[in-house]
Structure 1
């Protein structure tokens, strides 16, 4: 006869120690059937028992229900299943293992004559894991009504089930039971309550549970800090960390991940560096997750050097580490480094691809952004919201209306991706920049939910297309909805007035920026007013506005006035404005071109030749015009007077034929009319 020996810590509801006699003469030769696709790691369950019985050891390394049923059959035949501990381990595998079966666990639980607290808890936990929270809470209710002995874990697992519901009141029922049954001082239960309330954004209730806790361990502090950080309260999270450090509780890895996340939201580099030093000083285990959080924090705090230092010193990296660095390089315009790291990634997810697309789109390389998007689709990945926002931005920059329409139909109208406010805003911007202001307005009108960006995008779109009245009408609607205009709103309004020649209206709106809404006008607003004065021929007023601005004029303000000088042929003022612009940017060929046009209009040919001579002396070349077309999914860019394109000769030959044909048709048409 063999014995199975267990050493187990006894506590309420825990698995009892077990050493029954039973026959297991064939145990050493017992083998599990192999299971194709079986997990290579042990299933996730912990026990405080030290197990020496060979069959139960096999159970602990079980990887499939097929193996489990084989073991259960053997245990039933040998009488092992009649004992509480072995039966609880079989139940735990069925309910908790990834390869388990909660329905099989339910059947097994129903046949156990007197299940102990551990088994009840296992089933509640299993139902929660299987996304069957109602079944878990029903079982918890049976425990209470049947006067089954409960322990702290019973309430913790019940609260976990409550987290799966949409409303907080379900958990409040469990909270009431906790108080009624005297478990409110149980540290494990108190921690569970804090976590539950933070999940539902009930931070005041979570903080009350925290403050009323007579004892706090690292999990108590971490749950509250993480709750604050997760729900956008970084100041409260970091203040609580300071209080924690004043006590005797040492932060752990999860505490510091939450604190670093809070710092990322604040974008406070000084605080971030102090947290990094704290991690080193307290010898907090620097897991991969914590190092990834540090990289993300440094990038959001605009410190690429420190992020790269953490990255370079990592022993192991995952897709999140590398994606964060790709995003960091792209954010700071180091697209070559971003692409190099991206190409080296052994594994790429949709976030990695989106980071690269965003990098190109946000750094003025929309053609490359669309090429990466096409490669992503060819790789079989489905874009997410952020991906489409960046791709639509690239379409707007390139004027690629057909691609933007395809994205709208393929992903949004087909409901493959939920239509959100952010996507609606991106569509409005894309359609407006591609010249389809009616389509932009249609998207705006269809949006059931709008934010200030939605209104600003539509107002700016109307203004850019010369629809001043529509832009101003939308501005008045915006004010009636309760939104408070910001500086971007007024930039669109003033631009609309400028394009529409609405001088008096523009002057009033400019005064309202500070008078009614308390916003200090920015230099962009002054540039709009200079443009408005210039379009109305009021060059003197425009010049006076520039010289009385509370900030130094920039290229945009002087440029608007120079453009007006060309329109109205004011050579004297144009010369003075051009001098100011050349002081700011002597390499801008556009300034020389405008000045040459002004002199030509005033028939000052010697001055015009002088401008061209200055360009030659300073090696300033006019930026050539360019065009971009797509053929078979590839983009081709053409520059004016550039013959380096491989098929330039063939293209020019065809163009010549088209010109000849056009001339012949004109001559034939003229002869017919004659």
Structure 2
């Protein structure tokens, strides 16, 4: 004879701390559905103590195949007709990683009278599946069918609203919570703070926050994290200070948000103070908090402290290793960055991107592209950041073939969307490789542009000698409502310099401060001196350099020296060299340029004096070199270099080319 089922009625408003016992003991386990201890259990999050064998297996279920067997057993025994077992079945299908939301939806539709928990399960499920419209439609159906609401229904509905573009849905949920007085529930209030803060509506979030009479750690953490996520680090730190003087203890999530604010601010002293608070309050950091602490030290430039944290971490993940790679790369220690990269146990695309970016940003484009090729050979699919770094390296090396391939394969091939950042990098690459028309084509195709887009195009036209197009783009930029910055004017003045547009350059230089409030910097003065010098106005250029409101830089004196070489002004050249050598006595180019100017004037005594000065100071001329990319391998050639393994064959081919060119010249003479 079977024992009757002992059921505990489900209550939608049960107190979370209350533990219920669900004791059903009249069936043996199904052997074919037993789960080994090595399988991962799904996070069921129930406060009910379950001892019935079938339901115990339900909690240990790890696949839909097992779930269907359990469901069949529950149907045969009639267990499926009871609310709690059915709700657990639905929860697995809807929420477990091994579940099936479509199966859950079919199961839900077959339930005659789903209770509040079941409705909430479906809203959660569609939120988890990133289908917020369906999640919110379940909430609306709850309202239409007058299903009793609970605080979690509002929280799940707000989470769905967070994915919508507009604000109306979320505000309507907030309004409904007020009407039904659920807005007095702390769970709902915390959900509202998160909804507004997550969308960046910090004033609305703070208004709800301030209205909460008794706050818990979730309330404080959500608001602090909202400020930190919106780069309002000062407000985040101020709120954290208020939290500390209250009676709510911060937890690990709080400290992660606070450390994020310190990272954004670059405030190392504050970061160290936060670490002291962690130790004082005995907050034992897990992996996530350790990584946040590590990230803070890296972004604040304290690699000694970062290394200290890293070495003490018992558990490290790819983020930990990549943080160290990033940190060393940003401070220019590429040797240490590469060592950490090589020792990263399991590299991902972010690890590769960090090292590729490190080389690219530290003037090591050859190493950057070598690593990029290796990454592709290893089967990693690059992300946007990887391509931006690779394109920058291509621009530095004038490696048009690879840069063009990246653009056509990933962007034109629809493998990567053309974001503003990626488009800017592509424009810069094409411009530096001399393909300004391709750069203009990418620029024209952009549906959205930022100031960097306009600056890149102006700089591209300037570098390629198209001064008029640079000015046209600048005027178009102004018409579109974009305000130029100091970088814009560097490119604009460079364009005027290359185009010999003295009047236009002088006008732009004068309007910087007058019209835009931008005080000219050393770079702008150097551009103007170059403009005046190129057009033969050497006296005006010298007058400008002597009247600069700051100490002239190497670029300014270098521009004047180059103008002196062009216009054979030896006296002013000597003055320029004197100032340049005081700034950088190891620059061999300065000596060579002065020697060439003296040689042009046939002042051989001055030439000998310059060469003697170079020998006495131990300055050696940097040999000319070229770089060739062959199937991803870079081959460097120096003047009179014989170190290449194929140097004999290379020189033999060069001699043949030289001989053929001589024959061509002879044919022309005939």
Give TM-score scaled by structure 1 length: 0.93
For residues 50-95 of structure 1, the C-alpha deviation after alignment (integer angstroms, 9 at most, x for no partner) is: 2233332222111011112222222333343333322222221122
For residues 304-355 of structure 1, the C-alpha deviation after alignment (integer angstroms, 9 at most, x for no partner) is: 2222222122111111111111111111111111111112212122211111
Q: CA deviation at 1:535?
A: 1.5
Which structure 2 segments of 5+ residues have no match?
Answer: none
Give the distance between the partners of 2:328 and 2:476, measured in 1 at CA: 41
For residues 248-301 of structure 1, the C-alpha deviation after alignment (integer angstroms, 9 at most, x for no partner) is: 111111111112212222222222222222222222231211221222222222
User: Could you say which residue in structure 1 is the equivalent of 2:299?
Assistant: 300
User: Aligned in 2, Cα 1:421/1:13: closer, same or farther, shift over 3 Å?
Assistant: same
Q: Secondary structure at the match of 1:636?
A: strand
Q: CA deviation at 1:7?
A: 9.5
Q: CA deviation at 1:366?
A: 0.8
User: Could you say which residue in structure 2 is the equivalent of 1:639?
Assistant: 638
1:456 matched to 2:459 = no
User: Could you say which residue in structure 2 is the equivalent of 1:173?
Assistant: 172
Q: Secondary structure at the match of 1:329?
A: helix
Q: Secondary structure at the match of 1:184?
A: helix
User: Could you say which residue in structure 2 is the equivalent of 1:287?
Assistant: 286
1:226 matched to 2:225 = yes
User: Aligned in 2, Cα 1:398/1:76: closer, same or farther, shift over 3 Å?
Assistant: same
User: Could you say which residue in structure 2 is the equivalent of 1:60?
Assistant: 59
Q: CA deviation at 1:18?
A: 5.2
1:23 to 23, 26, 45: 26
User: Could you say which residue in structure 1 is the equivalent of 2:499?
Assistant: 500
Contact 2:23 2:50 in 1 (8 A): no
User: Could you say which residue in structure 2 is the equivalent of 1:443?
Assistant: 442
Q: CA deviation at 1:152?
A: 1.1
Give TM-score scaled by structure 2 length: 0.94
Q: Secondary structure at the match of 2:44?
A: coil
User: Aligned in 2, Cα 1:560/1:139: closer, same or farther, shift over 3 Å?
Assistant: closer
User: Could you say which residue in structure 2 is the equivalent of 1:76?
Assistant: 75
Give the distance between the partners of 1:358 and 1:167, measured in 2 at CA: 37
User: Could you say which residue in structure 2 is the equivalent of 1:353?
Assistant: 352
Contact 1:263 1:271 in 2 (8 A): yes
Contact 1:360 1:366 in 2 (8 A): yes
Contact 2:23 2:52 in 1 (8 A): no
Q: CA deviation at 1:545?
A: 2.0
Q: CA deviation at 1:443?
A: 1.9
Which structure 1 segments of 5+ residues have no match?
Answer: none
Contact 1:6 1:49 in 2 (8 A): no
Give the distance between the partners of 1:386 and 1:156, measured in 2 at CA: 35
User: Could you say which residue in structure 1 is the equivalent of 2:211?
Assistant: 212
User: Aligned in 2, Cα 1:489/1:164: closer, same or farther, shift over 3 Å?
Assistant: closer
Q: CA deviation at 1:185?
A: 0.5
User: Could you say which residue in structure 2 is the equivalent of 1:491?
Assistant: 490
For residues 449-488 of structure 1, the C-alpha deviation after alignment (integer angstroms, 9 at most, x for no partner) is: 2211111111122222222222222222222222211111
RMSD of aligned residue pairs (Cα, Å) = 2.4
Q: CA deviation at 1:20?
A: 5.9
Aligned residues: 667
Contact 1:6 1:52 in 2 (8 A): no
Q: CA deviation at 1:129?
A: 2.1
For residues 486-518 of structure 1, the C-alpha deviation after alignment (integer angstroms, 9 at most, x for no partner) is: 111111121122222222322222221222221
Give the distance between the partners of 1:243 and 1:433, measured in 2 at CA: 52
User: Could you say which residue in structure 2 is the equivalent of 1:474?
Assistant: 473
Contact 1:226 1:237 in 2 (8 A): yes
Paired residues for 1:503-522 under 5 Å: 503-522=502-521
User: Aligned in 2, Cα 1:203/1:32: closer, same or farther, shift over 3 Å?
Assistant: farther
Contact 1:555 1:581 in 2 (8 A): yes
**Structure 1 stretch 440-449 or stretch 647-656: which is displaced more?**
440-449
For residues 394-430 of structure 1, the C-alpha deviation after alignment (integer angstroms, 9 at most, x for no partner) is: 1111111111111111111222211122122112211
For residues 596-615 of structure 1, the C-alpha deviation after alignment (integer angstroms, 9 at most, x for no partner) is: 11221222211211111111
User: Aligned in 2, Cα 1:222/1:32: closer, same or farther, shift over 3 Å?
Assistant: farther
Give the distance between the partners of 2:667 and 2:101, measured in 1 at CA: 85
For residues 87-125 of structure 1, the C-alpha deviation after alignment (integer angstroms, 9 at most, x for no partner) is: 222221122111112233333334444443323322322
Give the distance between the partners of 2:588 and 2:201, measured in 1 at CA: 59
Give the distance between the partners of 2:100 and 2:556, measured in 1 at CA: 70
Q: Secondary structure at the match of 2:517?
A: coil
For residues 13-65 of structure 1, the C-alpha deviation after alignment (integer angstroms, 9 at most, x for no partner) is: 579945566632x34xx3244799x9821102211122233332222111011
User: Could you say which residue in structure 1 is the equivalent of 2:42?
Assistant: 43
Contact 2:10 2:83 in 1 (8 A): no
User: Could you say which residue in structure 2 is the equivalent of 1:310?
Assistant: 309
Give the distance between the partners of 1:160 and 1:374, measured in 2 at CA: 42
Contact 1:421 1:450 in 2 (8 A): yes
User: Aligned in 2, Cα 1:510/1:115: closer, same or farther, shift over 3 Å?
Assistant: closer
Contact 2:196 2:204 in 1 (8 A): yes
Contact 1:225 1:237 in 2 (8 A): yes
Give the distance between the partners of 2:157 and 2:370, measured in 1 at CA: 50
Q: CA deviation at 1:669?
A: 5.6
Q: Secondary structure at the match of 2:635?
A: strand
Q: CA deviation at 1:562?
A: 1.4
